[in-house]
Amino acid sequence: MLRTLKDLFDSLLAPPQATATPAAAAHRLQLATAVLLVEVMRADATLGDAEREAVLATLRSRFALADDEADRLLELARHTAHHAVDFHTFTSALNEQLDHDQKVKLLEDLWAVAYADGQLAAHERHVMWRIADLLHVPHGAYINAKLRAKAAAGG
């Protein structure tokens, strides 16, 4: 288990040419996605179970992970996010692998985490805007993703 977590962490930090294998690219994508989900979760001053469960549900459905795999990825993402200085490493990994529609879907998932507790904090909005900007998602697509996530959350 620790070897797998270390491999995920190393694959994110390695230069893109070093992650040429499909498995390494998949791990890089998973960790980058998980870190951004964690950053949105951490942006809320009152971290609750609703946000954590929204992150886990997203990881399970997006990457077809079992519960224990999603838990391990979440813990690795928390550790990685805690030591990160910015979002650039993670958004760069996503920009390399995702097309426009996939990025918009990711924003919807991120908004779902932000809306999981029924409230949207100012810092959550700022983190979302920053991520969308780094993913090069146009403002209209960003707003539409927000509205879809809000509607899905019952807001």
Mean pLDDT calculated for residue range 77-92? 93
pLDDT score recorded for residue 8: 55
pLDDT score recorded for residue 9: 56
Mean pLDDT calculated for residue range 45-68? 92
Nearest to 73 by CA among 89, 57, 85, 87: 57
pLDDT score of 82 more than 80: yes
Nearest to 116 by CA among 84, 153, 72: 153
pLDDT score of 88 more than 50: yes
Q: Please give the Cα distance from 26 to 149 (Å, whole number).
A: 25
Token pair for residue 129?
A: 């805007």
**What is this structure's pTM?**
0.85
pLDDT score recorded for residue 10: 60
Which percentage of the chain shows pLDDT scores above 90?
73
Residue 88: Cβ-neighbour burial (10 angstroms; 0-12, 13-18, 19+): exposed
pLDDT score of 13 more than 80: no
> What's the fold here for domain 2-152?
TerB-like (1.10.3680)
Phi, psi values for residue 65, rounded to 5°: -100, 145
Domain ranges of the chain: 2-152
Mean pLDDT calculated for residue range 116-120? 89
pLDDT score recorded for residue 6: 57
